[in-house]
Amino acid sequence: MSKFSEKCKELLTENGYNVYRLSQAASLERTTLQRMVTGKRLPGPEFVEQFCQALRISLPEKKEIMDLYKMEAIGETAYRNQTTILHLFEKLSTLEKNKGFNKRSIVDYGEMKLISPISNDKYETELLLQYVLRKTIQEQESPELYTNLPGTDTLLPHYLNLMIPQYGKAILIKHLIHFQTNASYAYENLETLHQIIPLCFSAGINYIPFYYYSKLSRNDRPNLLYPFYIITEKYVLQLASDLSKGILHSDPAILQEYTKEFQNCLEHSSPLLQQSKDLNEALQLYMTSFDTIQDLTSLDATPCDSDFMDNEYFFDRVKEHSPKYAPLTKAYGTFLNVLKQVNRKDFFTISGFQKYCESGISSGTSSIVIPQFSPEERITSLKYFLEHFSNEKDHMLNSTFSYPDSLYIELRKHRCTRGTNKIK
């Protein structure tokens, strides 16, 4: 039996029913119900909804049942991957609304003193980590930190969240992470992105991740001796595989060797992100990877600019609202013409669409050059959108889907993923 069928059987018994009695009381098809609770066949989602309604179970119990149903329908691995991606979008949405890390601080820890450079449990190790971070941020004018902590670990993001608002300084972080080559470990790769992507968009952090591929798994870590480290200008903190023990070094010779070897590691890795300083540089960077694309799936808060207006109308708006971007219209026009030849599937959110209709704020490139569409411009663009709407290409996501207004993501057939943002 599956987890879903076991839970259904458990709820059936807890509420004083058996298959026959519930099928009679709620007019549920008995054979379908019997196969569902014995794990022999998965019914449709409507039947599961009727089952929950008939038992009058609580909302948390219904959510658990529906989650188990989805897990059974698409497979546990696919469900975990899907859930992790959705949680990432929710985290980015929250980050966008809070404008980076929370600026409020209610505790002043004062001066921390080092008692021992060796920690023997997780609590002591966290104190060592706090010590290194506070000393680095307090004493360095332009603090920097290098690390190879697991991308799935929450410890570093947690303490950065606590400390950055207190000192009002920006810190440079170079993070060396690894991704699994085995597709069966895709969930671990998604967990890594779930933790590190929000750091890329967080105020007060210049976060630069580098990556490489490895077959090393979590099961191998216990066999490694202090495999993780944090390097600053004055300290090297070695950490055990489970982050339960640490050794703090302050010898300049050790610091120099660790820093040199870390730079060597970066030379054998690749930057996870390519960042641009202005719209022109971003456009050129984007175009270099666009000439071989045939299929494209995009996710944005609002429909694509090319679906709201034709090239001529868009460029007229650019000249009117932001003439400084007028020299870029030729290159952008080339991109838009190429885009029309691509097989596209575009997803956008109902909340982003409503925001555009009500306030005239778009989320595409137009949001950079046209801060706000007038009511007349909105009507014109919406008419154009409806005239060119395609059920095969355009898909609107419902209100339960949480997605940041300022993030745009493309998924391409040859596995290149590109996101642009204005969260910072």
Average confidence (pLDDT) per 10 residues, the chain, 424 residues: 90 90 91 93 93 89 92 90 85 71 44 83 89 91 94 86 84 94 82 87 89 83 90 96 93 96 96 80 73 78 83 85 84 78 87 90 79 88 86 83 82 59 43
What pLDDT was estimated at residue 148? Answer: 95
The residues spanned by each domain of the chain are: 3-74, 118-271, 279-421
CB 342 within 8 A of CB 296: yes
* pTM over the 0.75 mark: no
Q: At what angle do helices 30-38 and 3-14 cross, to 10 degrees?
A: 120
What pLDDT was estimated at residue 290? Answer: 65
What pLDDT was estimated at residue 283? Answer: 74
Helix (H, G, I), strand (E, B) or coil at 271: strand
The letter for the amino acid at 400 is T
Residue 235 DSSP label: -
The letter for the amino acid at 175 is H
What pLDDT was estimated at residue 174? Answer: 97
CB 149 within 8 A of CB 228: yes
Tokens linked to 174: 């170079």
CB 175 within 8 A of CB 153: no
The bridge status of strand 171-180 relative to strand 144-147 is: parallel
CA separation for the pair 196, 84 (Å, rounded): 13
Q: Is 79 left (phi over 0), alpha (psi -120 to 50) or beta?
A: alpha
**What one-character-per-residue DSSP string does 340-377 give?**
TTSEEEEEEEHHHHHHHHHH----STHHHH-S---HHH
For the domain 118-271, what is the CATH code? Answer: 3.30.870.10
What beta strand segments (E) does 166-225 contain?
Answer: 171-180, 205-214
What pLDDT was estimated at residue 293? Answer: 66
What pLDDT was estimated at residue 340? Answer: 77
CA separation for the pair 424, 416 (Å, rounded): 23
CA separation for the pair 381, 106 (Å, rounded): 47
Backbone angles phi, psi at 122, to 5 degrees: -65, -35
What pLDDT was estimated at residue 292? Answer: 65
Options 1.10.10.10, 3.40.50.300, 1.10.260.40, 3.40.640.10; CATH for 3-74 is 1.10.260.40
